Amino acid sequence: MNEFDITAAVRARTEQMIAERRQFHTHPELSGEETETAMYVAAELRKMGMTVTEIPAGGVIGVLNGDRAAPALLLRADMDALPIQETPRHAVCERTCISQVPGKMHACGHDAHMAMLLCAARILSEQDLRVPLVFVFESGEENNTGFARLLPFLLAHFDIGACYATHVWPDIPSGTLALCRGAATSGGFGFEICLKGQGGHGARPDLAASPIDCFAALHTRLNGLRMTAAPPDQALTYSVGMVHAGNRPNVIPESLTFSGTVRTFDVDGVGERYRSVMFDTIRKTAESFDCQAEFLRAPKPVYETFNDEHWRERLLRAAGQLPAVRIADHAPWMASETLGFYFRLWPGVLSFTGVGNPEKGCTVGHHMPDFDLDEDGMPAGAAMAVLAALEWNREPEPVPEGYRRETLEQLLERRL
């Protein structure tokens, strides 16, 4: 391991990695529709000599050294794009490549995730390894569907000891990697609630029970609830993304439906407290406006993506073998990740790969039409995946006894 030059190996394949990223970027496919993307990934993994399994609506799994008895390392990338119309330019200049599919774009960097992991896989397929490596390319990460089909198969067929993945981040400069202590991304829960009141004519609001008035008061109360239900040192966000009510300006509607999400880095603690108080506030506020609150969707919260400290420390110590890669501290990301489910089954680390570069206009955040990434940051991400595999190969470890506190079935009940 110490004699292998990871940086040089990645450099030799960087041109191919960038070409693949651009191929994925120009031909994006939405969650659950990644047919061509999955076919390409599966074909490339087979060229590397892997045993490949394609899980319908779940993703692609490739295995190196599947006949070895040691606990395997799982390395994961996601494949889906988003229903966003990409801008032809970003903050500074024309893009290096642009989506050729109207209304669809890789606005979260999954194109780079796939390209980096394929680059790492090619390098690792040429090494003499004594442990199995399981490469997972996940479908439907954005709508939280593919992992629920992948995890049962992974549990049934592999002895996995740990996980590693990365996510690109334009807030971090290219060539820099961050490995957060504790939570890397948030957990949280979604909600969809129907407020049912009494409709009426706009000229006589006194004869109606307006769900719009109820929602206006409720939204204000829930925003303020963060100050009383969450300690000041605990991050928690509440937001409403959709509100639907009425179809005429002079008619008070009978019902209003609103939905949104709550995010936190401490689901079992402040998250559960806020959820309990929030739902109680919704019921009582509805009653005070002579309305009823119907909970159309209120799933159990998904967990934060919590980095295992032992595995994180191993990677930080090994990172000295990547002199060209800067390792930095960085705050966690308030978005949520399906990796949180993986990390409740196996110890894992999610790193952040810096792809920010103001001179190239790569500064806009994820899920925006002018999101773009500096491809010069990708070699660092690929190199860290190789390093993680080689470090695991040096000393594979079983999942610690008592690590799993929920069954798979209980985990899959949770949704954002």
Last residue of a domain, one of 235, 265, 297: 297
Specify whether 376 is located in the same domain as 404: yes
Contact 73, 133 (CB under 8 A): yes
- Banded model confidence at residue 19, pLDDT cuts 50, 70, 90: very high
Which strand (E) or helix (H) includes residue 147?
Answer: helix 147-157
**In 328-360, which positions are buried (b, 16+ CB within 10 angstroms) versus exposed (e)?**
eebebbeebbbbbbbbbbbbbbbbbbbbbbeeb
Specify whether 166 is located in the same domain as 58: yes
Q: What angle do CA 385, 55, 345 make, to 5 degrees?
A: 55
Specify whether 220 is located in the same domain as 142: no
Residue 251 lies in a domain: yes
Specify whether 228 is located in the same domain as 368: no
The model's pTM is 0.95
Specify whether 200 is located in the same domain as 174: no
Specify whether 174 is located in the same domain as 36: yes
Specify whether 320 is located in the same domain as 404: yes
The CATH code of the domain that includes 37 is 3.40.630.10
Q: Which domain holds residue 111?
A: 6-182+307-412
Task: Report the first-to-last Cα separation within the chain, whole angstroms.
Answer: 40
Residue 172 lies in a domain: yes
Residue 1 lies in a domain: no
Specify whether 264 is located in the same domain as 386: no
Last residue of a domain, one of 297, 317, 343: 297
Instruction: Extract the tokens encoding 298.
Output: 């209120």
Specify whether 268 is located in the same domain as 314: no
The CATH code of the domain that includes 239 is 3.30.70.360
Specify whether 11 is located in the same domain as 126: yes
Euclidean distance between CA atoms 333 and 91, whole angstroms = 23
Order the strands of the 348-356 sheet from edge to edge: 51-55, 59-64, 133-138, 72-78, 160-173, 348-356, 176-178, 326-328
pLDDT tens column, 238-297: 999 999 999 999 999 999 999 999 999 999 999 999 999 999 999 999 999 999 999 999
pLDDT tens column, 33-87: 999 999 999 999 999 999 999 999 999 999 998 888 899 999 999 999 999 999 9
Residue 99 lies in a domain: yes
How many folded domains does the chain comprise? 2
pLDDT tens column, 363-384: 999 999 999 999 999 999 999 9
Last residue of a domain, one of 241, 265, 297: 297
Specify whether 174 is located in the same domain as 214: no
Residue 302 lies in a domain: no
Total Cβ atoms within 10 A of residue 169: 23
pLDDT tens column, 193-233: 999 999 999 999 999 999 999 999 999 999 999 888 888 88
Which strand (E) or helix (H) includes residue 136?
Answer: strand 133-138
Residue 110 lies in a domain: yes
Specify whether 47 is located in the same domain as 147: yes
| Amino acid (1-letter code) at residue 74 | L
